[in-house]
Structure 1
Amino acid sequence: MKIFVNNQEKTVVEGCTVKNLLKSMELTSSVAIWINDLQLLQGDYPTYILKEGDKVKIFKPMGGG
């Protein structure tokens, strides 16, 4: 199934959760996720199942100060 991650097309298996997506991309859950312009809470990463055509935006934390 095809989704878009940060505007790049990506193929994932049917039933893929956000947590599985992050694992496949070697990312931790300490990122902010928006799906179809709605923010997803970190507690929902393990259970939110991605759907065909979803537009996922991943934001990594930035240090600074």
Structure 2
Amino acid sequence: MRIVVNGESVETMDNAVVMQVLEQQQAGRNVAVWVNERRLLQKEYPTFLLHEGDRLRVLKPLGGG
């Protein structure tokens, strides 16, 4: 199925969950994720089922000091 991750069209398997897409994109676990403008909790990543056309925004934390 096709979804959009950070503005780019991505092909992923049917019935994928957010964690699988993060692994596919090599984004890691310590990221913030929005699906269709809804902010997810990290505990939802392994179970939140994605659908054709969903739009994900993935933000990695910034470091510095």
Class of the TM-score when normalised by the shorter of the 2 chains: over 0.9
User: How many equivalent pairs are there?
Assistant: 65
Over the aligned positions, Cα root-mean-square deviation in angstroms equals 0.7
Counterpart check, 1:52 vs 2:52: yes
Work out the CA distance in 2 between the residues paired with 1:32 and 1:20.
Answer: 15
Partner AA of 1:49 in structure 2: L
CA deviation after TM superposition for structure 1 residue 64, in Å: 2.0
**Residue 44 of structure 1, CA deviation:** 0.3
Distance 2:42 2:19 in 1: 9
Supply the distance in 2 between the matched residues of 1:12 and 1:35 (Cα, whole angstroms). Answer: 15
TM-score, L = length of structure 1: 0.94
Percent identity of paired positions between Structure 1 and Structure 2: 38
Query: Which aligned runs of 4 or more in structure 1 are off by greater than 2 angstroms?
Result: none
2:35 maps to 35
Tell me, which stretches of 5 or more residues in structure 1 are unaligned?
none
Paired position in structure 2 for 1:13: 13
Instruction: Provide Cα deviations, 1:7-65, integer angstroms capped at 9, x if missing partner.
Output: 10001110111111111111211000001011010000000011111010000000123
TM-score by length of 2: 0.94
